Structure 1
């Protein structure tokens, strides 16, 4: 795998910035909040269309954020660090546990282009027909569709927060014409919002999407800069398989050295080299069982 030199036409510093009035405006009515969420989503749509944004990496990181929110909704204590461990440090035959399963579901939901089959892979306990039925419950403009799907799922399965939020984000992505699901709602909603209905739920979803779209755009800009730096230092890496390793860092939130396509010692050396070059970070703060990410 080779990487082109940084070009001004795909300079991450040229990514459009979220208008300040989207975050500073005070809105109370459903109409005003809907206007702001539409503006935030429209801006995010532009950002997601930019070549310099590492799309798969952004979705994987947003999936982790959504999983953390869902785990918190369920009252469990696991946060980002524990969720990364639950997914990336599994041994063959091990089960990820409830929190890890939530993280796996979100990661699978964003890996492949949107389809009933892809959603069924993420939500293994649901039949394809049920997934299609719930998605069809959404009507109207994008955020209303998402809120209606979430309400439909939780009305029939009150404990299915993860399924409801994944399918709501899927409905939103479909309505916006996005090829992949982008996790947005879970991180912006509060636990109490999941028990709301009708206009109250739509208002909560609009508010959630304002904050989540702003954060997603911020992360996209940050990851674009980090990805550009990683691509710039890639030619300095001499290890066989380094190009494929860089490709993994550009698509995954976290990478264990043991998962890289290099011998163990070479993989650890490559990770240390990338840290020294400022291209990746060690994410755990541990001396062993380390994980690395852009």
Structure 2
């Protein structure tokens, strides 16, 4: 069965690359880190405005990476494959384990535009007034705002790194003028960074931003290419509900065939997913013969 081929230049020409001088985390001085993190955020800002990038899918994949890092910080050992299983194989009425619950928090917080209401839905156990106070107290550059929120929230919620990371990303994203929260800080912070304070924490968050923005831009370029291949395959897809299914794949990190039940029957969904794999536009992500999960 023929695969879908497109030239990388067809989709990647408009997307910037972060230059090597901006990706180095060897910078020691606060001024160097501020300059490099600002450059990395500026280039990511450009990528987040590119129509070629499937923005919802990019946020979903960053949320998965953030959840994996977040889970590791909490002392658990679940990795990406296990997180996907916990969430995407849930049956109606089931609840995920602790790691899956963290992943679901990240997915909820990136699914809506940044607002106090959206954050309250993602973090229902946290008083909205507290969140508003923490976010409104931040001043200065995006890195300084993220640092201030992270430090304050972690000090008041010592056992909950998830809340601190989400709200710090919300402060950073809002300061950058982004409509949606973009998960970044968890991708670059290390467990030891959670114990930093003052200028050490500011430095750690600056370096984490450089690392995470670099990964996000690289991921965006890859997803632009992959999504273009899937878009090009639309003409070959004759199944009923194919348009709705393709739209889901372009906005979700991963899907089990049962997630397509609103568009087609369970049997048709399994055939449709295999068809996309045969065309080379979707990957089977588990390596299993049963309980399979697919993604762009």
- With the length of structure 2 as denominator, give the TM-score of the two structures: 0.95
Cross-structure match for 1:221: 221
Cross-structure match for 1:95: 95
Deviates more, 1:171-180 or 1:14-23: 14-23
Q: Which runs of 4+ in 1 moved over 3 A?
A: 6-10
Q: Which SS does the other structure have where 1:254 is aligned? A: coil
- 8 Å contact 1:138–1:171 — kept in the other structure? yes
Cross-structure match for 2:107: 107
**Aligned mate of 1:283, from 264, 285, 288:** 285
Aligned length: 289
Deviates more, 1:91-100 or 1:147-156: 91-100
- CA separation of 1:25 and 1:210: change in aligned 2, threshold 3 A: closer
Q: Per-residue displacement from partner, 1:53-105 (whole Å, max 9, x unpaired)?
A: 00000000000000001100111111101100111111122111110110000
- CA separation of 1:177 and 1:274: change in aligned 2, threshold 3 A: same
Find the aligned partners of 1:41 and 1:93 in 2 and give their Cα distance.
Answer: 40
The equivalences for 1:92-171 within 5 A come to 92-171=92-171
- CA separation of 1:72 and 1:8: change in aligned 2, threshold 3 A: closer
- CA separation of 1:278 and 1:9: change in aligned 2, threshold 3 A: closer
- 8 Å contact 2:37–2:210 — kept in the other structure? yes
Cross-structure match for 2:239: 239
- CA separation of 1:86 and 1:189: change in aligned 2, threshold 3 A: same
| Structure 1: stretches of 5+ with no match in the other structure | 1-5
Cross-structure match for 1:36: 36
- 8 Å contact 1:13–1:225 — kept in the other structure? no
Q: Which SS does the other structure have where 2:240 is aligned? A: coil
**Aligned mate of 1:265, from 264, 267, 280:** 267
- CA separation of 1:234 and 1:143: change in aligned 2, threshold 3 A: same
Find the aligned partners of 1:52 and 1:247 in 2 and give their Cα distance.
Answer: 15
Find the aligned partners of 1:103 and 1:109 in 2 and give their Cα distance.
Answer: 10
Find the aligned partners of 2:267 and 2:176 in 1 and give their Cα distance.
Answer: 45
Find the aligned partners of 1:92 and 1:224 in 2 and give their Cα distance.
Answer: 32
Find the aligned partners of 2:210 and 2:25 in 1 and give their Cα distance.
Answer: 11
- 8 Å contact 1:12–1:53 — kept in the other structure? no
Find the aligned partners of 2:84 and 2:244 in 1 and give their Cα distance.
Answer: 21
- 8 Å contact 2:143–2:172 — kept in the other structure? yes
Find the aligned partners of 1:271 and 1:36 in 2 and give their Cα distance.
Answer: 42
Find the aligned partners of 1:23 and 1:40 in 2 and give their Cα distance.
Answer: 7
- With the length of structure 1 as denominator, give the TM-score of the two structures: 0.95
Cross-structure match for 2:177: 177
Q: Which SS does the other structure have where 2:13 is aligned? A: helix
Structure 1 residue 12: Cα displacement: 2.9
